[in-house]
Amino acid sequence: MTQNTLKVDAFWDKDAEVWVATSEDIPGLVTEASTIQSLTEKLREMIPELLILNQIVPFDN
């Protein structure tokens, strides 16, 4: 099994008062949340979905 390292950038936007996450490694990944915990939860759902949609990893039935 091969493992890939993907970089996700997260930062606090003080003007909007939200955490923002983006990634050059995962096309379409842009999201925000009011807490780092909420952001982490969103990323745990979004990243696998985007990896499959972008055909970066195969979809297993």
- CATH number, position 28: 3.30.2390.10
If one counts the domains in the chain, the total is 1
Q: What is the pLDDT of residue 57?
A: 82
- Ramachandran quadrant class, 17 (left: phi over 0; alpha: psi -120 to 50; beta: rest): left
Give 6-48 pLDDT, tens digit per residue: 999 999 999 999 999 999 999 999 999 999 999 999 999 999 9
Give the alpha-carbon dihedral of 42, 53, 58, 47, to 10 degrees.
-20
Q: Does the pLDDT at position 1 exceed 60?
A: no
Examine residue 61 and state whether it is found in any structural domain, yes or no: no
pTM summary value? 0.85
Q: What is the pLDDT of residue 3?
A: 76
Examine residue 2 and state whether it is found in any structural domain, yes or no: no
Whether the Cβ atoms of residue 42 and residue 35 lie closer than 8 Å to each other = no
Give the alpha-carbon dihedral of 37, 42, 51, 60, to 10 degrees.
100
Q: Does the pLDDT at position 61 exceed 70?
A: no
